[in-house]
Structure 1
Amino acid sequence: MKLKTFFPLFGFVALLAISHLSIAQAPRPPYVVSPKVNPDKTVTFSYLAPNATTVLLDGNQFGSANVPMTKGENGVWSITVGPVKPDIYPYGFKVDGTTINDPSNTYLFPNERFKASLVEIPADSPAIYALQNVPHGSVSYQYYPSVEGSTGTVVVYTPAGYTKETAKKYPVYYLISGTTDTEETFWKVGKVNLMLDNMIAQGKAKAMIVVMPYGNPLARIAEQTGKDKPSDVMSRDGEDALKRIKLFETDLITNVIPYIEKNYRTINNRDNRAIGGFSRGGGQTLRTAFNNVDKFAYVCSYASYISPAEMDKSFTNITSNPDKTNKDFKLLFSGIGTEDFLYKGTTEWENYLKDKKINFKSYVTDGGHTWMNVKKYLNETLPVLFK
């Protein structure tokens, strides 16, 4: 009886071992490194898709859009582009017509829509936004009671020394991202935290707190109440857009600022508050600042404007007494790229301000409506805030 039970059991165990061995020895797919930044500043992108018909490098940051990639015998598609000018660039792949991000890359662009992958090409000498051997501040996520019973989120940068110098108070820069961007974008793509770490260490900027709110509270309300996300506005200064901007302004003034000033060591007066933003965030910046002159002394518009018609209709408090406005605002900054689709509107707005004798700082660079340019605007404005 023992032999009869032993051999079947032995055979079953042997089959399990052979089966496990065959599974363990199954060939592994190729290990894919992507992106790979080469010493000559060319970049190699790779994607494993043995059954795909076509794979394209998506995006036009590297000279042309939708560049065909080449399939290797191991099923890995690849392409090398460049040399590429040092900066941070978004990209993705189009696999048989479907856009995806790079599964080999964890560095993603925070966005409400498609989250592109990001690649950083380092400069020969460290860029102002590069990670350097200096004292570093901290970045944290905070939740606060927001409009219409929702819960809002902000990303907050505190400079090096904040936790040790417990008696010291700081000025605050409220910094707002653009359309479809999130509260993380100025941190993860704009690198404002590293820029300030380096500038403060070099004595080029004053130590400050940076508060990065989410610029689309209507979408957050919809998400938290189980409703569909509202569609994008068709006009930047249409009725719907202005209503949404007003909702953001209400949230910032009545909820975000009081929360920050209650929970952080801040200097609570207009001379120690700045507000700035990119694209939609720039439009929110200008309207919020012009409606609340008592709150902000520094105003930074990155690739945005207000039309002369809206200025005449809604902001005569700014234009009717230019001497007062010029005294109120220690900085009114307007940055734009010559290839930006908002260049024409921005220059018209700047000419309007000139005609009204309103002082402002104009900064014009090349390039378009990109976060590469946003870092240039930050580089111009961070050193002059609160000085």
Structure 2
Amino acid sequence: MRNYIFFALLCVTALTQAQEALFNGQQVSSPEIYPDKSVTFRLSAPQADSVFVTGDFLPSVKVDTPMGKMDGPGKALLTKNEEGIWSFTTEALPPELYNYAFIIDGFKTTDPANPFLVRDVASVMNIFIVPGKQADLYRVQDVPHGTVVSRWYESDGLEMDRKISIYTPPGYETSEAKYPVLYLLHGAGGDEEAWLTLGRTAQIMDNLIAEGKANPMLVVMPNGNVIQDAAPGAGSAGYYTPQFMVPQTMNGVYEANFDEIINFVESNYRVKADKANRAIAGLSMGGYHSLHISRYYPDTFDYVGLFSAAIMAREDQSGEGVYADFEETLKKQMDNGYELYWIGIGKSDFLYEANTEYRAMLDKMGMPYEYVETDGGHIWRNWRVYLSDFVPLLFQD
């Protein structure tokens, strides 16, 4: 009996200690967003010598990347109190979706008090939303919601089955109507998940449709990396470290075989299968792909969106296959007619000069386009805005 009592007390003590450990791990609230839109970050790290927070809510700094110098997040030092809780409070922040991470004694890590994470290439970051204005498009609102599915299509040209993400608008399942389609392409280092997680595409579409600012449509988000069947961890290659530039990504093979994606969508979904009801848009590398796909198939899309696009083919591919006869095929696209050719770029984007040169070429050709210039550089904050501005212009009667 004594042994039983001793064992019971031991179990109770262990359970109590486990609960204390659990609650101690959750003893801070971070980030805390106040009514005035300031935000406090907190971290319990009594043994740390320094803690910084880094994120896109701070003034940007120039950082070296494989694509040259680009805007990167700044950092701010947290202050430690007597309990070993580090904290930093911002000034009032504009409404926006932000990302951040902590740097503890030089080691970059996520916030243990915030379970909401996104992956951008190989970096994992916490996110939070300061509500209001544009940022309300990125939130899940009390409106009818569309459906996001992952599908696999057979690619004869790329010799593999490939994964694709598809958004169908609210009411698609219960309707007999046919819908237009936006093909939305990611940038270098991205995949078929990027526009959903980092771009908030489903939330943007739900909210724009609910507000009557956009027509219901499908949004098709393929994987633009020709050697991948799916995003890292989601395909046959299993778990591996994602790369910024996947080999063979911009060699023309993806563009040449894009008709397989269109055929899959039009064979499996209730869509309007004509030029007037197809749009294509993409960011950075996806803008590059959108530019070349739309001119390689010059009578296929009535709407084209180039978001911070990587302009022109690389020199080693400029005279071959998809990239041959660039100006001639672009002129054929213009002569065939289209409803909208939309170009957006940030003033400090490292691709700004290339986009300026491309617009000069279009001006010389007499090829009409709409141009939007924003603050900031090569960042998701701009691309979410471009998507929000581009979608309401599509498929208008």
The two structures have a TM-score, normalised by structure 1, of 0.85
2:351 corresponds to which residue? 342
1:19 corresponds to which residue? 10
Unaligned runs of 5+ in 1: 1-9
Q: Which amino acid aligns with 1:271?
A: A
Partners of 1:145 and 1:152 within 8 A in 2: yes
Please list the CA deviations of residues 142-193 of structure 1 after superposition, one character each: whole Å capped at 9, or x if unmatched.
Answer: 222346443322221111111111x211111010111222322222332222
Partners of 1:293 and 1:328 within 8 A in 2: no
Asked if residue 96 in structure 1 is aligned to residue 114 in structure 2, the reply is no
2:340 corresponds to which residue? 331
Q: 1:192 aligns with which of 191, 201, 221?
A: 201
Q: Percent identity?
A: 32
Q: 2:281 aligns with which of 276, 287, 297?
A: 276
Partners of 2:298 and 2:333 within 8 A in 1: no
Structure number with larger C-alpha Rg? 1
Whole-Å separation in 2 of the counterparts to 1:155 and 1:50:
44
Q: How does 1:222-261 map to 2 (within 5 A)?
A: 224=236, 232-233=244-245, 242-243=250-251, 246-254=252-260, 256-261=261-266
Classify the secondary structure of the residue corresponding to 1:66.
strand
Please list the CA deviations of residues 256-309 of structure 1 after superposition, one character each: whole Å capped at 9, or x if unmatched.
Answer: 222222221111122211111011111111111111113222110000142499
Q: Which amino acid aligns with 2:161?
A: T
Partners of 1:108 and 1:117 within 8 A in 2: yes
Whole-Å separation in 1 of the counterparts to 2:293 and 2:250:
11
Q: How does 1:95-244 map to 2 (within 5 A)?
A: 95-123=104-132, 127-146=136-155, 148-165=158-175, 167-220=176-229, 224=236, 232-233=244-245, 242-243=250-251
The two structures have a TM-score, normalised by structure 2, of 0.83
Partners of 2:122 and 2:243 within 8 A in 1: no
Please list the CA deviations of residues 98-156 of structure 1 after superposition, one character each: whole Å capped at 9, or x if unmatched.
Answer: 22222322322233311211111101697344433332212222222346443322221
Classify the secondary structure of the residue corresponding to 2:250.
helix
Please list the CA deviations of residues 21-64 of structure 1 after superposition, one character each: whole Å capped at 9, or x if unmatched.
Answer: 32233233152322111111111112233333322102343236
Q: 1:263 aligns with which of 268, 275, 285?
A: 268
Unaligned runs of 5+ in 2: 61-73
- Give the root-mean-square deviation of aligned CA atoms: 2.9
Partners of 2:101 and 2:108 within 8 A in 1: yes
Mark the CA change 1:72 to 1:144 in structure 2 (over 3 Å): closer, same or farther: farther
Classify the secondary structure of the residue corresponding to 1:204.
coil
Q: Which amino acid aligns with 2:59?
A: G
Whole-Å separation in 2 of the counterparts to 1:128 and 1:226:
34
Mark the CA change 1:75 to 1:253 in structure 2 (over 3 Å): closer, same or farther: farther
Mark the CA change 1:242 to 1:206 in structure 2 (over 3 Å): closer, same or farther: same
Asked if residue 47 in structure 1 is aligned to residue 43 in structure 2, the reply is yes
Q: Which amino acid aligns with 2:236?
A: Q
Partners of 2:158 and 2:226 within 8 A in 1: no
2:71 corresponds to which residue? none
Q: Which amino acid aligns with 1:342?
A: L
The number of residues matched between the two structures is 370
2:308 corresponds to which residue? 303
